[in-house]
Chains A and B, each alone.
Chain A
């Protein structure tokens, strides 16, 4: 069974930093692209970014709202995904989900989701 468990959320002041982790199990982590998606309280879903797999050089993509402040990384030996968040703003307050990307015939989609971890940016 695929499991994604996020951790590392909490309260941080504006301008601060936080590192989220996502522990994956139940699949061959190294084969897969992974995404981060967030959801502000009472709002819709916002894609944060993606890391590709080793075969695709671990390249990354980011939403404009986080580019230059957030960094996605992974450790395939630990089946873990990370989101390093710097220069945090109040508008970064959200539940952050990690997802496993499924690729089928050239199409991608966020197949499996973790339970999410809440990040609150407030003074």
Chain B
């Protein structure tokens, strides 16, 4: 199985900050990676797929990059509604796997 390791697991930041979350795969997955945002008590929401393609309707302050084994999700200027948990997901091979999550909290 392909393991995904996100770092950091917890991040404290302020409104207006630029933040980056990293997702590392245990083997190469090309660009078969997606990012999701989840708020408490809600279903996850797709932000980015194919490593860097922004899902329709997602603000442009979110961006994704990477290929192979290392990927990043960047939020260019944090807004109050961005405080949530973020997950990466690999869809290169079965079983599909998720990272353990990064909890982003207000400093």
Residues of A bordering B, CB below 8 Å:
35, 37, 44-47, 50, 61-64, 97, 102, 104-105, 107-111, 113-116
A sample of 10 cross-chain residue pairs with beta-carbon separation below 8 angstroms, ordered by A number, consists of A35-B96, A44-B87, A45-B44, A102-B49, A105-B50, A109-B34, A109-B46, A109-B50, A110-B44, A115-B43
User: A110 to B89, Cβ gap below 8 A?
Assistant: yes
Q: Do residues A46 and B49 form an inter-chain contact, with CB atoms below 8 A?
A: no
Residues of the A chain whose Cβ atoms lie less than 8 Å from the Cβ of B55: 111
User: Could you tell me the dominant secondary structure of chain A's interface residues?
Assistant: strand
| Contact A110:B98 (CB < 8 A) given known A44-B87, A45-B87 | no
Does A64 lie within 8 Å of B95, measured CB to CB?
Answer: yes
Which residues does chain B contribute within 8 Å of A44, judged by CB atoms?
Answer: 87, 98-101
With a cutoff of 8 Å between Cβ atoms, the chain A residues found around residue B96 in the complex are 35, 47, 50
Contacts of B91 in A (CB 8 A): 107-109
Contact of A97 among B43, B87, B94, B97 (CB under 8 A): B43
User: Which interface residue of B36, B44, B53 has the most chain A CB atoms within 10 A?
Assistant: B44
A47 surroundings in chain B (CB, below 8 A): 89, 95-98
For A109, give the chain B residue with the smallest CB separation: B49
Residue of chain A at shortest CB distance from B98 = A45
Q: Decide if B22 is an interface residue (CB 8 Å cutoff).
A: no
